[in-house]
Amino acid sequence: MHDSREIVLARLPSGVPIRTTVHVYGEGSLVDTEEGPELDVPDDGGPVVYAQAAQHGREVNGAAVLRRLHERLTGGDGEGDGGGSGDAVGDDVRGTLVSVPVADPLTFDHVSYTTPESLDSINANMNRCWPGDPDGTLHERMAARLWPFASAADAVVDLHTGSPTMLTHTVYMRGDEACRGLAEAFGTDLLLAEAAGDDADTEWAERDFGGKFRVAATREGIPTITPELAHSREVVEEAVETGVDGMVGVLRHEGVLAGDADPWAGTVARNHLGRVTAADSGLFRAEPDLAIGDEVADGERLGEVYDPTTFETLQVAEADRDGIVYSVARESTVTAGATLVGVAERITE
């Protein structure tokens, strides 16, 4: 019920191929063609879910999630330390799961978010160029190689992680009920609804958010979510467990695994609004008791930015809306315009 193949995503200037591994579980299989391995799903093969991780290579917990999920589905071979949680559920697979643990080996090897400019100066961030272009830049070619696996799916999960000072959440396209349902099935307490296109703020276009994998797949009519697990750069047990539970919830929701996703009773808030930014450069001191997940009120004091040489307070940082604290700057040395605290505004829809 499990099959895997190495695929070539693109080649480096030296001719060295950029390789990664695709895994398939359940009724689908990988067939070798002249262009490399392709997904084959029987016509009556049931639902298909595609999951990938580490587009941003320093976000390593997603790759760890897919390994742990592999153990759950196959009943073993893996960490060998008892790290696998729960019983093997692989016998119940009624459709197909396709997973790519390392979508971007370039950023993975650099433990980075973007590639060095020398490799792709146009699309240094792989998550801005979907669905890619087989004749395009390096990242566009890599995306184009993965796209057929993703676009064959009925649901897509793009695993990411944030910093330890960011609340775990799942992003979906605002107003898309199928994406919302998938996000609820993944089950993080906080869901962030991101407006798209004409409904979005100007930052959306300026930062090429239309080229995000999630947005491109959603626009193809494939419900897609971006879970942001906590912690980049460090595999953290709690984040891995959250991710595996989320993936099992998604597989149940889609009917790939038997059973129902746990009912969800969390909070929906708006993405990309409510950032409290530094009005001037200096040292940021958050309020000592401020923690991610806190409810804050409009006007509430969140911290201060001060001049380290004169001790003068340059800015009292205050919440500009009622909401939930989902990030607090970890680095105290801030430049003007930097995000100090993210406050997600609760919405009901």
Q: Quick one: which segment of 25-33, 156-164, 207-215, 301-309 binds Zn ion (CB under 5 A)?
A: 156-164
Q: Using CA of residue 12, residue 15, residue 18, residue 22, what is the dihedral sign? A: positive
Q: How far is the CB of 56 from Zn ion (least distance, A)?
A: 4
Residue 160 binds Zn ion, judged by CB under 5 A: yes
- Smaller CB separation from Zn ion, 171 or 319: 171
* Alpha-carbon span 347 to 39, nearest angstrom: 39
Q: How far is the CB of 225 from Zn ion (least distance, A)?
A: 13
- Smaller CB separation from Zn ion, 102 or 257: 102
Take residue 63 and report the two structure tokens written for it: 């790759």
Residue 72 binds Zn ion, judged by CB under 5 A: no
- Smaller CB separation from Zn ion, 160 or 174: 160
Q: How far is the CB of 205 from Zn ion (least distance, A)?
A: 20
- Smaller CB separation from Zn ion, 59 or 304: 59
- Smaller CB separation from Zn ion, 107 or 315: 107
- Smaller CB separation from Zn ion, 223 or 227: 227
* Alpha-carbon span 349 to 193, nearest angstrom: 10
Q: How far is the CB of 6 from Zn ion (least distance, A)?
A: 24
Q: Which residues contact 310 (CB under 8 A, 6 or more apart)?
A: none
Q: How far is the CB of 194 from Zn ion (least distance, A)?
A: 14
Residue type, 346: R
Considering only CA atoms, which of 171, 106, 99, 108 is closest in space to residue 140? 106
* Alpha-carbon span 174 to 271, nearest angstrom: 9
Q: How far is the CB of 161 from Zn ion (least distance, A)?
A: 7
How many residues contact Zn ion, by CB under 5 A? 3
Considering only CA atoms, which of 150, 308, 276, 278 is closest in space to residue 216? 150
Q: Quick one: which segment of 57-65, 237-245, 279-287, 325-333 binds Zn ion (CB under 5 A)?
A: 57-65
- 91-118 CB burial, b ≥16 within 10 A, e <16: eebebbbbbbbbbbbbbbeeeebbbeee
* Alpha-carbon span 8 to 19, nearest angstrom: 4
* Alpha-carbon span 75 to 331, nearest angstrom: 42
Q: Which of 41, 47, 54, 56 binds Zn ion (CB under 5 A)?
A: 56
Considering only CA atoms, which of 98, 70, 95 is closest in space to residue 84? 70
Q: Quick one: which segment of 41-49, 56-64, 84-92, 104-112 binds Zn ion (CB under 5 A)?
A: 56-64
Question: What Cα–Cα distance (Å) separates residue 112 from each residue in 76, 104, 116, 320?
Answer: 31, 10, 9, 32
Q: How far is the CB of 113 from Zn ion (least distance, A)?
A: 7
Q: Quick one: which segment of 116-124, 137-145, 154-162, 305-313 binds Zn ion (CB under 5 A)?
A: 154-162
Q: How far is the CB of 128 from Zn ion (least distance, A)?
A: 11
Q: Quick one: which segment of 131-139, 152-160, 209-217, 269-277 binds Zn ion (CB under 5 A)?
A: 152-160
Considering only CA atoms, which of 4, 57, 49, 65 is closest in space to residue 30? 4
Residue 128 binds Zn ion, judged by CB under 5 A: no
Q: Which residues contact 75 (CB under 8 A, 6 or more apart)?
A: 88, 90
Q: How far is the CB of 336 from Zn ion (least distance, A)?
A: 25
Interface mask (CB under 5 A) for Zn ion, residues 256-285, using x and -? ------------------------------
Residues that bind Zn ion (CB under 5 A): 56, 59, 160
